[in-house]
Amino acid sequence: MATVPGGWQVEEYARSGDDVPIRAFLAGLEGRDANQAAALLLKLAARGNQLRPPDSQQVDENLFELRGHQVRIFYMFLPGRRIVLLAGIIKKQDRIPRRDLDRVRAYQADARRRRPQLQ
């Protein structure tokens, strides 16, 4: 994706070839949700692991979420000031639905296995 000067390198997790979950999620956003997602991603690229609530929250070990009003974007960190965007959801309840969390954890595990290929 991008690197903000003095910031972090932001990458997108791809399941295979053109199957990039975060890209599909972001492309489907409109209006307020799209604006919030863009603002949160800029903050993440600039502040990385220094981003704190209410904008970011840890979900699991090395699994975090960017938090807008309803937008949630899941990401993880890799060595070398790298961030990998995994997926996103529009959240309609306080808890993250189990199937969404399981899906994101599977993406995270795959990204860890394929870490050298994410470069």
User: Distance between CA atoms of 102 and 8, rounded to whole angstroms?
Assistant: 26
Confidence of residue 1 (pLDDT cuts 50, 70, 90): low
Residue predicted with more confidence, 1 or 10:
10
Q: What is the average per-residue pLDDT within 58-82?
A: 95
In a domain, 118, yes or no: no
State which residues form the domain around 61.
2-112
Alpha carbon 8 to its chain centroid, in Å, reads 13
Give per-residue pLDDT as tens, 82-108. 999 999 999 888 889 999 999 999 999
In a domain, 97, yes or no: yes
In a domain, 119, yes or no: no
Number of domains, the chain = 1
Q: What is the CATH number of the domain that holds 66?
A: 3.30.2310.20
